[in-house]
Structures are given as C-alpha cells and as structure tokens.
A and B are shown apart, each in its own frame.
Chain A
Amino acid sequence: MTTMPTTFFEWVFFLLQQYGGIFVKGAVVTLLLALVGTFIGCLIGFVVGLIQTIPVGPNTGAGKRVFYKIVRWLLDAYVELFRGTPMIVQAMVVYYGSMSVFDIDMSAMFAGFLVVSINTGAYMAETVRGGINSIDPGQTEAATAIGMNHYKTMRCVILPQALRNIMPQIGNNLIINIKDTSVLNVISVTELYFSSKSAAGVYYKYFEVFFITCVIYFVMTFTVSRILRWIEGRMEGPRDYQLVTYDPMHDPCGHFPLPTIKKEQEK
C-alpha cells in the first residue's frame, strides 16, 4: 500500500502516474479534433471563399446570375449563423438536434468533428475571401490576357498567393481550435478537458489536475505555433536569386528570335 501524496508536486506526480494514459488519450483526441477540424474547415473555407469571388459581370447569363445569387445568399447565411453563435451551443444543437429532429444517432465524436469543421469553415470562408481580394487585380487581368480562365487563374496565380497570405490566420484558427474543442465536453467528447474533469473528480484534486491540463494545452499550442512559423518561413522561399549565364548557342532552341518573327509575318 503506497502512502497518499501530501504536497502539491507529490499530487501532480501521483496523478500523472495514475491518469497519465487518460491525459495522453485526451490530448490526442483534442489534437485530432483540432487538426482534422481545421483542415476540413479550411477546405470548406476555400470552397465557400472561391464561390463568393466568382466574377459576375455583364456577360454572365441571367439564369447563372440568379443561381449565383441564391448560392451566395445561402453561403452568407451559413457564415453569419456559425460565426454568430457559440460553438458550445452549436455542439448541443447539432448533437441533440440530429437525434430528436432527424433521428440520426451520431456518435458524440462525430458530432464533435462536424461542429469544429463547419465552425472553422465559417471563419475561414471570410479569411479566404479577404485573401483572394487582397491580391492585386492586375494579376488577374494579366492572367486573363494570356488566355487563362477563372479556374486556371485561381489555381495558378491567385490561390497560391492567397494561401501564403492567410497562413498566419490558419495557424491562429488551429490554435484556437486546440483550446476551444474543450467546449465539446458538453456532449461528452472525451477530449482533454473532459478527461481531466473525470480524473479530477476521483480525488477531488481540481487544482492539481488542471495544472497538468494547463501545461499540456500550452505545450500543444506552443509546439503548433512554432511549427507553423517554420512552415511560413519555408513558404517565403529564398531571399535572393542566382544569376545564370545563358548562352543561346548551347541551347537546343539556340536560334535567334528576330528572323523567326519576321518569317511569321511574311508568310
């Protein structure tokens, strides 16, 4: 029979030994929820942001225009609704609502992933829209002028730049999600906060347990924040460039362009 711990650190050590596995499991679930939720949220955000920035000009047909209008109205409603209500309430509504209204018995975990994803999606939609709009329209014009359509322009020119610009925002969302998935305890998702609460209840050691929880949350967010900063640095690319010496005589295309143009004009 081991003697019961007395000091704060003894308790922390004891609780770690007793519930280490539960903490780890909780942390893993939290990370999974945050990572998957942010990832799917980003996908949703990109799709919504893209649809909202499709140019509607005087050449767009009337039917198409009405269609875009309806779709955009729905997407706007989605964004406003999910930005304008707390995630904790969304979790309750989705989880219990799906059960009582639609008779769908989704697992709490699934409801958790769903809520985090669509919640993040609503925020990311606005971020992506801003990211796209921040790119100088001159580049879109240049792309149009070399014959690229809207899709190709987005894919090759605008989105790569927008993505780079909104990386800090994505990171922010991921960190917020690591912390805010704790609200999913209300539908009994066994993430870190929920697990901690269960562990704390056994010996009524709330302070000691949540001290450990606090450290785990911070380690997770801090690590993620550093990794993201490193990725951002990588995306910047090299700061300088190497000159290359180009000798047209040693290139398979090493003929001089001047006569070529002339020939084309003459034929």
Chain B
Amino acid sequence: MEQDKRILQITNLRKNFGDREILKGIDFSVDKGDVVCIIGPSGSGKSTLIRCINFLETPTSGDIYFKGENVLAKYNDLSLYRTKVGMVFQQFNLFSNMSVLENCMVGQTRVLRKDKESARQTAMKYLYYVGMADYINAKPHQLSGGQKQRVAIARAMALEPEVLLLDEPTSALDSEMVGEVLSVMRELAEAGLTMIVVTHEMAFAREAASKVIFIDQGVIAEEATPEVIFKNPANPRTREFLSRFNQNN
C-alpha cells in the first residue's frame, strides 16, 4: 500500500529566526528506501530544514509526519523519535571524552537502555561496516576527519534508525578523505537505508539519489529525479545554480 511506504511527510514547514523567514513553506515526502539529496546555494536553508526534521530546530509552523503520524502529537518526548531518525553532522560532533566504541554505545545503553554486551555487538557491527572496527580504543582527537565522520555514521547507525539525515557530511573534509565517506554512504544507500542528504557532491547525488530537491531562498525551487535535475532542469534557477557550481569546481 502507498501509505505504508511513506516514512516521512513534511507539510508547509516554516521557520523564522527572529523576524527573518528562513523556510517559507516546504512540502515533500520520503518513501522507505529513498535517498533524497538536498542541494542549493549556501544560506538557502538546507541545514535549517534538515535540523527541523529531527527537531533540533523547532519549526515555526507546519507538520512533520513519521510513518503517517504527526511527530509532535505522537511523541511528547522526542527522544524516542530521534532514535529512529539518525543524524550525521558536517563537523562530526563526536563526544571527545569517549572512545570510538563508547561513542557508538552510549546512545544504545543510555537511551535505548540496551545491556552493555548487546550494545557492544551492535556498535562493533557498524564500526566494522564503516571500516573503523580496529580503532575502537581511539579517542576522537586521534582520528583523521574521514575517520571521525565514519565513526559518526556508525554512531548514528548503532541506534538502527529508520531514516538517516546527513548535513553536508563531506564538506569539512580534505578532498582525499571525501571518497571514503562517500563510499560508506553509497553502501548504506545500496543496502536500502532511507537517507536525506544535504550535499554539494553532485556526482553522489547523480548516482545515489532517488530524488533531488533544489532549495533556493527557503523554498523548494525544483524537485525531480537526478536525471531531470542534472540533464534537463525545469527551473532556470536550478540550471543557473548547477552551471555556476560546475564552474567553481
């Protein structure tokens, strides 16, 4: 059934900072297994949008439905919802007082209340998956950027979320480390994980996305398959953004 496939639905989402309207009515939906790539000029509200989805920012108005249910109505404590919607940040944001393994266990033991051993096993599973299982004893400051981001992905995945949000996961990385993170993301996409990715990696968007959303000045200027967006965009602003983007890179 159509309804069962829909995992996230965002309707008329608005967000003001002070009297500035940053998001001006955003509507889109995400189906199970979708990889939605969000592109757009910097300052257009991409981060704000993705942060509204797990309520790191409180939307000024509009609704977010998770599996058909209004999140704010269903979850009076957002913790449970947040364990189902993982997040990966541009700046990694690993917990610097914890080892790699502890970073991937703390959410399981403290929030999901799993016992230590099963938390460790799940953490190891995802650390192995991202290629960081050998580094479980390292502290975040002892890792390279690419390694940190892979641990951050494992930390989010260790809660076995149903959707993973990634906000420019490779933008803070030196160019030689972008590849290792993108390849993990590609594998996750292939494995069928539902993802919403804010990215400037157009090659990734072209290959991995089931849908690309172009955001400009707080509105969705265009939403289409990667083929349409990259080969034959309907909106002249999309075309302009992409051509300017290609010149700069």
Chain A residues close to B by CB (< 8 Å): 57-59, 136, 138-139, 141-149, 152, 156-157, 160-161, 164, 237, 240-246, 248, 251-253, 255, 257-262, 264-266
Binds A, one of B37-45, B134-142, B215-223, B227-235: B134-142
Given the interface pairs A57-B58, A262-B191, the reply to whether A257 lies near B97 with Cβ below 8 Å is: no
B70, CB-defined interface residue at 8 Å: no
The count of residues in chain B whose C-beta lies closer than 8 Å to any C-beta of chain A is 56
Q: Which residue of B lies closest to A157 (CB)?
A: B95
User: Could you tell me the distance between the alpha carbons of A183 and B99 in the complex, rounded to whole angstroms?
Assistant: 46
Contact status A251-B93, CB under 8 Å: no
Contact status A253-B191, CB under 8 Å: no
Contact status A146-B111, CB under 8 Å: yes
Contacts of B187 in A (CB 8 A): 258
Contact status A156-B106, CB under 8 Å: yes
Chain B residues close to A by CB (< 8 Å): 32-33, 54, 56, 58, 77-80, 82-83, 86-87, 89, 91-99, 106-107, 110-112, 121-122, 124-129, 133-139, 142, 152, 155-156, 159-160, 162, 187-188, 191-194
User: Could you tell me the distance between the alpha carbons of A160 and B96 in the complex, rounded to whole angstroms?
Assistant: 10
User: Could you tell me the distance between the alpha carbons of A59 and B82 in the complex, rounded to whole angstroms?
Assistant: 17
Contacts of A259 in B (CB 8 A): 191
User: Could you tell me the distance between the alpha carbons of A142 and B156 in the complex, rounded to whole angstroms?
Assistant: 9
Contact status A248-B128, CB under 8 Å: yes
User: Could you tell me the distance between the alpha carbons of A75 and B62 in the complex, rounded to whole angstroms?
Assistant: 38
15 contacts between A and B (CB under 8 A): A138-B93, A139-B93, A139-B95, A146-B156, A157-B98, A157-B106, A164-B97, A241-B137, A241-B138, A241-B142, A243-B134, A245-B134, A248-B133, A261-B192, A265-B192
Contact status A145-B86, CB under 8 Å: yes
Q: Which residue of A lies closest to B99 (CB)?
A: A241
- CB contact between B56 and one of A144, A164, A245, A265 (< 8 Å): that residue: A144
Contact status A144-B121, CB under 8 Å: no
Given the interface pairs A58-B58, A241-B137, A262-B191, the reply to whether A145 lies near B142 with Cβ below 8 Å is: no
Contacts of B58 in A (CB 8 A): 57-59
Contact status A148-B128, CB under 8 Å: no
Contacts of B96 in A (CB 8 A): 139, 161
Q: How far is the CB of A32 from chain B (nearest CB, A)?
A: 32
Contacts of A146 in B (CB 8 A): 82-83, 86-87, 106-107, 111, 155-156, 159
